Amino acid sequence: MDVALADRLLTTTRSVRKRLDHRRPVEPALVERSIEVALQAPTGSNSQGWHFVVVTDADKRAGLAALYRRAWELYASGKLPARAELPPDDPRAKQLPRIIDSASYLAEHLHEVPVHVIACIEGRVENAGPLAQASTYGSILPAVWSLMLALRARGLGSAWTTLHILFEQEAAALLGIPSTVTQAALLPVAHYTGADFKPAKRLPAREQTHWNAWGKRR
Ligand SMILES: Cc1cc2nc3c(=O)[nH]c(=O)nc-3n(C[C@H](O)[C@H](O)[C@H](O)COP(=O)(O)O)c2cc1C
């Protein structure tokens, strides 16, 4: 195992929004191979109830982008629950204006991104308890992250998005997704432009790690 290469892929796979190349076509085989790699991810009880809806049809991408934009506008105008205010010296507060600018760009241009991938999992858990929720989402989200990594290794950028899920059933109707299936994320996918990516500033691992009891550091 080339640890340096693995760490580079894991630490520099970013949410790509402004650097998605809308004009360059994406070879379907690259997406298919990336999905094959992603399906090596774990699933609860080896259930493998995952599905990836790959959308290249321009009208359908426009339909999804319209739903996404509606949700973005609600989010941007503060009509969706947002997270608590952060102190100005918090690294997340410093990153926020750049993320908002980038996310706003994606909301305006999503229809132009050549491939949308919606990751789905069989089952519904909105009325289920924490174990069923953790098992269901936990059986698709590792594959979604693997997909982003596999795409990135092939020169394709993507961004993890969830906003369209505010209108999940409208997206389901557009794509014929059964009502028994849960949508977990939408990845816009395209070749990326420009140079390579850098690791992001994150909260220090030491502060987020608890040894043997909550709040205990090593
Ligand atoms: C569960 C989840 C939901 C997200 N939803 C959205 C979204 O709807 N739109 C968006 O632009 N980014 C979304 N993101 C991406 C985050 O904004 C992004 O990961 C964060 O800004 C950090 O940037 P990085 O991924 O480049 O490190 C989501 C990420 C996660 C994990």
Residue ranges lining ligand 1, Cβ < 6 Å: 14-15, 99, 103, 106, 159-163, 200
Asked if residues 196 and 19 have their Cβ atoms less than 8 Å apart, the reply is: no
| pLDDT beyond 90 at 13 | yes
**91 has pLDDT over 90:** no
Cross-sheet strand order for the sheet of 181-191: 50-55, 115-122, 181-191, 156-158
**31 burial class (0-12, 13-18, 19+ CB within 10 angstroms)?**
buried
Task: Take atom 7 of ligand 1 and give the residue whose Cα is closest.
Answer: 161
**What pLDDT was estimated at residue 127?**
97
Between the CA of 127 and the centroid of ligand 1 the distance, in Å, is 25
- State pLDDT tens for residues 101-133: 999 999 999 999 999 999 999 999 999 999 999
Average pLDDT over residues 41-61: 98
Cβ neighbours of residue 100 closer than 8 Å, sequence gap 6 or more: 76
Expressed in angstroms and rounded, the spacing between residue 140 Cα and the centre of ligand 1 is 16
**Distance, CA 159 to ligand 1 centroid (Å)?**
7
Strand 181-191 to 50-55 pairing: unpaired
> Does the pLDDT of residue 82 top 80, yes or no?
no
Q: How far is the CA of 92 from the centre of ligand 1 (A)?
A: 13
